[in-house]
Amino acid sequence: METTKSRMRIEDCRALIRDIPDFPKKGIVFKDITPLLRSPGAFQSVIDGIASEALQAGRPDIIACPEARGFIFGSALAYHLGIGFIPIRKPGKLPYATRSVQYDLEYGKDSVHMHVDAIEAGQRVLLIDDVLATGGTMAACASLVEGTGATVTACAFIVELDFLKGRERLGKHPTISLIHY
Q: Which residues are catalytic?
A: 69, 106
**Residue percentage of the chain with pLDDT more than 70:** 97
69-104, pLDDT tens digit by residue?
999 999 999 999 999 999 999 999 999 999 999 998
Residue 177 pLDDT: 97
**DSSP state at residue 136:** H
User: Per-residue confidence at 105, pLDDT binned at 50, 70, 90?
Assistant: confident
Q: Residue 168 and residue 63: Cα distance in Å, rounded?
A: 22
Residue 5's pLDDT band, with cuts at 50, 70 and 90, is: low
Q: Which residues contact 23 (CB under 8 A, 6 or more apart)?
A: 30
Does the residue 20 lie in any domain? no
The pLDDT value given to residue 107 = 74
Helix (H) or strand (E) holding 55: helix 40-56
- Domain presence at residue 10: no
Cβ count within 10 A of residue 123: 19
CA R_g for the chain: 16
Residue 128 within any structural domain of the chain: yes
5-9, 150-154, 174-178 — which is least confidently predicted? Answer: 5-9
pLDDT digits (tens, 9 = 90+) for 22-54: 999 999 999 999 999 999 999 999 999 999 999
In a domain, 149, yes or no: yes
Domain of residue 159, CATH code: 3.40.50.2020
The total domain count for the chain is: 1
In a domain, 117, yes or no: yes
- Which residue, among 70, 66, 108, 72, has the nearest Cα to 90 in the 3D structure? 66
Within 10 Å of residue 158's Cβ, how many Cβ atoms? 31
Q: Is residue 44 part of a domain?
A: no
Nearest to 142 by CA among 133, 154, 130: 154
For residue 173, the model assigns a pLDDT of: 95
Query: For 11-107, where are the E strands, in sequence order?
Result: 18-21, 29-32, 62-66, 84-88, 98-105
**Helices vs strands, H then E, count in the chain:** 6, 9
The pLDDT assigned to 179 comes to: 97
Confidence of residue 161 (pLDDT cuts 50, 70, 90): very high
* Total residue count of the chain as it appears in this document: 181
**Contact call for residues 31 and 21 (beta carbons, < 8 A):** no
Domain carrying residue 110: 58-180
pTM of the model: 0.93
Residue 64 domain-assigned (yes or no): yes
